[in-house]
Amino acid sequence: MNCNEAAPLLPTYGDGELDPMQSAEVEKHLLTCAECAARRDEQVALSARIKRDVPYFAAPPSLRSRIDAVLAGTRGTLRSRPVWDRWRWLGAGALAGSMATVLAWLMGSAVLEWRDGTDLAAEAVADHVRATLSNHLTDVATSDRHTVKPWLSARLDYSPPVQDLSGEGFALTGARVDYLEKRAVATLVYRYREHVVDVFVRPAAEGTARSRSPVSTVRGFNVVRASGAGMDWLAVSDTSADALTAFVARLARGDAAP
Amino acid sequence: MEVRLPDGDARSRCAELVLPHLNSAYNLARWLSRNDADAEDIVQDALERALKYASGLQGTNAKAWFLTIVRHTCYDWIGRNRPAELVPGDGTDAIEAAADPRPTPEETVIADADAQALLRAIAALPVGFREVLLLREQEDMSYRDIARVIDIPIGTVMSRLARARGLLRRSPLLHSVLPQSMRTVGK
């Protein structure tokens, strides 16, 4: 690949949207071409500046209370409607078709609920693998927990506790926002020796004490769960389950310096 | 398979899927309207629309779906309040507008002069370029999702992104932003 071929692909490469084959070719070219490498650096610098300096406007509390009012209104009107009214749509369509739809929906939601109960670990591992493969481990890369915490609270509707446990071998390297069970969650990224450790943190689910074992293995990755400090913690790594369990317990205890 | 849910279930499921993206919605509305109070009105309006059309959410990508509605609501609002902004332009004017010395509301929260220059240059981008740039850089959305939100082909996402970045690079205000070595390349 020469400059004429590589240059138009650079923005797409920088955005991580090239297919792996083209990506590898661009990378090869970048190793040998200072000019294209400088263009790539320029885009990276611009992206980093935008991420760092351009304010991200999180929804203010006043908006959240307005939204709550809208939703409360929704539920209120629902409750006041008679039961038969909610099912009147059944009469509107062909009955057989409706029955088939309802059956499909019931089966679909049963399957979804079952998957919901068993796939959390798999989903977390998938997030971990995706981040590792795409080399996009962190959205905010810093070992300073006083930077990580506000960055996360600006993007989520909660503020997870953030600790740097370098003293115990787990060095905080940054954070990103992932999705677990369709919700945005904080992912704290640590390094432990040569291993990357992702810790997913979300507010503790109310009244859903899960009976499953706190330690499981998915595709060779250890997944450890814990609850504490008002949060549910879920760590994924290829390091040993023992080290991971001790680490997560330490995080969930939340007794480090404030 | 399209599964039609009873109305109430569709609405509460919709709210559940959409609410995690409230910050993204507000940020987009805030950047397009450039005003706190208007952004709140827009997001509330968008949420009400979303609940009304809840059955249109197939659960594939709630964020892109919701932001599509937020963006439509923004454009309706801009059309009513500042129709001049919707006149298509190539953004050349924006570079000159960026030299306007009056601080914009965004800038008052930023002390750093370089950061202010960047903000001013982005705020001055034509709205069509600004939205693509921010969805990409702040929301980390894929080209495909951005194309969906704005309802344009992926090729157009790429060209608008290139144009927006080009305008920022060429903005005289930003000459202090990027190191000298980076600016001389690629002219």
Q: What are phi and psi of A89, to 5 degrees?
A: -60, -20
pLDDT of amino acid A103: 73
Put simply, the answer to whether B138 touches A54 (Cβ < 8 Å) is: yes
Provide the number of CB pairs (under 8 Å) joining chain A to chain B.
140
Interchain contact B140–A (C-beta under 8 A): yes
pLDDT of amino acid A84: 47
B105 contacts: CB under 8 Å, gap ≥ 6: B34, B35, B36
Comparing A62 with A101, the larger pLDDT belongs to A62
Of A45, A51, A108, nearest to B178 by CB-CB distance is A45
- The CATH architecture assigned to B1-86 reads Orthogonal Bundle (1.10)
Q: What does the CA dihedral A201, A206, A207, A212 come to, rounded to 10 degrees?
A: -10
Q: Element (H or E) spanning A4, and its range? A: helix A3-6
Question: Which has the closest alpha carbon to A251: A196, A189, A182, A177?
Answer: A189
pLDDT of amino acid B136: 94
Query: Is residue B97 over pLDDT 50?
Result: no
The stretch A111-118 carries a mean pLDDT of 52
Query: Is residue B132 over pLDDT 60?
Result: yes
Render pLDDT for A120-132 as a digit per residue (tens, 0 to 9). 888 888 888 888 8
Which has the minimum average pLDDT: A35-49, A54-68, A114-128, B121-135?
A114-128
- The CATH architecture assigned to B88-176 reads Orthogonal Bundle (1.10)
ipTM more than 0.85?
no
Question: What global pTM score does this model have?
Answer: 0.53
CATH number of the domain at A119-253, please?
A: 3.30.200.100
Which residue of A19, A46, A112, A138 is the best one to mutate when testing the B interface, meaning the one whose CB has the most B CBs within 10 A?
A46
* Residues on chain B touching A64 (C-beta within 8 angstroms): 22
Q: Element (H or E) spanning A201, and its range? A: strand A195-203
CA A55 to chain centre: 21
Residue of A nearest to B5 (CA): A105
What percent of chain A is predicted at pLDDT more than 90?
11
Render pLDDT for A83-100 as a digit per residue (tens, 0 to 9). 444 555 555 555 666 667
pLDDT of amino acid A212: 54
pLDDT of amino acid B24: 93
* Residues on chain A touching B8 (C-beta within 8 angstroms): 78, 81, 86
pLDDT of amino acid A252: 87
Q: Which two tokens stand for residue B138?
A: 């702040």
| CA B142/CA B138 separation, integer angstroms | 11
Interchain contact B17–A (C-beta under 8 A): yes
What percent of chain B is predicted at pLDDT more than 70?
70
Structural domain boundaries in chain B:
1-86, 88-176
User: B177 CA to chain A: closest CA distance, Å?
Assistant: 9
> How sure is the predictor about B145, in pLDDT bands with cuts at 50, 70 and 90?
very high
Q: Which two tokens stand for residue B74?
A: 């923004």
Interchain contact A138–B (C-beta under 8 A): no
pLDDT of amino acid B56: 73
Put simply, the answer to whether A38 touches B138 (Cβ < 8 Å) is: no
| CA B34/CA B168 separation, integer angstroms | 19
User: B35 CA to chain A: closest CA distance, Å?
Assistant: 11
Which has the minimum average pLDDT: A96-100, A150-154, B76-80, B114-118?
A96-100
Mean per-residue pLDDT of chain A:
80
Strand order in the sheet with A221-228: A170-180, A183-192, A195-203, A231-237, A221-228, A215-218
Query: Is residue A81 over pLDDT 70?
Result: no
B151 contacts: CB under 8 Å, gap ≥ 6: B68
The stretch A246-250 carries a mean pLDDT of 89
Say if B1-86 and B88-176 have the same CATH topology.
no
Of A41, A70, A101, nearest to B47 by CB-CB distance is A70
pLDDT of amino acid B36: 87
| CA A161/CA A229 separation, integer angstroms | 8
> How sure is the predictor about B89, in pLDDT bands with cuts at 50, 70 and 90?
low
> How sure is the predictor about B164, in pLDDT bands with cuts at 50, 70 and 90?
very high
**Highest mean pLDDT: which range of A28-37, A220-229, B116-125:** A28-37
Of B15, B122, B143, nearest to A54 by CB-CB distance is B122
Structural domain boundaries in chain A:
3-43, 79-118, 119-253
pLDDT of amino acid A67: 87
Which has the minimum average pLDDT: A62-76, A143-157, B14-28, B65-79?
A62-76
